[in-house]
Structure 1
Amino acid sequence: MAENTITLEQAQKWARNWRNNPNTKVIAFLIPEVDLTQVMAEKNTVNIRTYLGIDDQNNSKLMIVGVDSNGKDLIDDKNGQYIYDMTSACQPDCDVNSPLFNI
């Protein structure tokens, strides 16, 4: 299994948590380079889609999946197509000197 992946069941729970109670204080996410390079290396991935979620500790999450040329999410552990998440939300993981932070 690739680094920084979560199960479909876990992703669905986090997405449901976000939709039931979105965290509107989150202004950005830090995405590890390894998540992007791994998802882009997956078979048939031409784009990336992200989903918002809230984990069991009430942390906002950005889940990352590969997308094929037809716009379909590629989620299939058996074929090495995973859901990635080691993102961290801003707040608290922010660049406080960024011109996008200070608006």
Structure 2
Amino acid sequence: MSEKDTTNTSIEENVITLQTAQEWAARWRENPLNTVKAHLIPRVDINELLAEKYVVDIRAYIGVDDQGVNKLMLVGVDAAGNDLINASNGDYIYDFTQPCPNTCDVDSPLYTLKP
């Protein structure tokens, strides 16, 4: 499990720009042989995203950052199914997930693929 403490993290620390999100998503799509099996999403971060105005759902986009680390980017979604992406309105793209490997439950049947 990662040693990262997510309980006292500011929103700004977990926000990425649309341009960065698009670059990561494109990089992910260029490498279909990725080894990431899962992403850990801290509860506090989900609660913060769901607390944003007009958010009724969450959508996840897959990407790869500049260091080659796989990312799961999360955005709020309104009742009409639209992504809420507008930093000037407080609608952010979040990058607070932690990829597995590094945050894996190695005994999970989803990790080991054992029945």
Length-normalised TM-score, structure 1: 0.91
Measured after TM superposition, the shift of residue 23 of structure 1 is 4.5
- The reply to whether residue 57 of structure 1 matches residue 67 of structure 2 is yes
Paired amino acid for 2:106: V
Q: Show the counterpart of 1:81.
A: 91
Aligned positions of 1:20-31 closer than 5 A: 20-31=30-41
Q: Show the counterpart of 2:20.
A: 10
Partner-residue secondary structure (3-state), 1:101: helix
Length-normalised TM-score, structure 2: 0.82
> Bigger shift: 11-20 or 21-30?
21-30
Cα distance per residue 1:35-91 (max 9 Å; x no partner): 211110111100000000000000000000000011000001011110001211111
Aligned positions of 1:29-68 closer than 5 A: 29-68=39-78
Unpaired runs of 5+ residues, structure 1, are none
8 Å contact 1:60–1:89 — kept in the other structure?
yes
Structure 1 Cα separation of the partners of residues 77 and 33 of structure 2: 26
8 Å contact 1:35–1:85 — kept in the other structure?
no
Structure 2 Cα separation of the partners of residues 24 and 36 of structure 1: 25
8 Å contact 1:65–1:82 — kept in the other structure?
yes
State the identity %.
54
Q: CA RMSD in A?
A: 1.4
Paired amino acid for 2:89: N
Paired amino acid for 2:59: R
8 Å contact 1:2–1:82 — kept in the other structure?
no
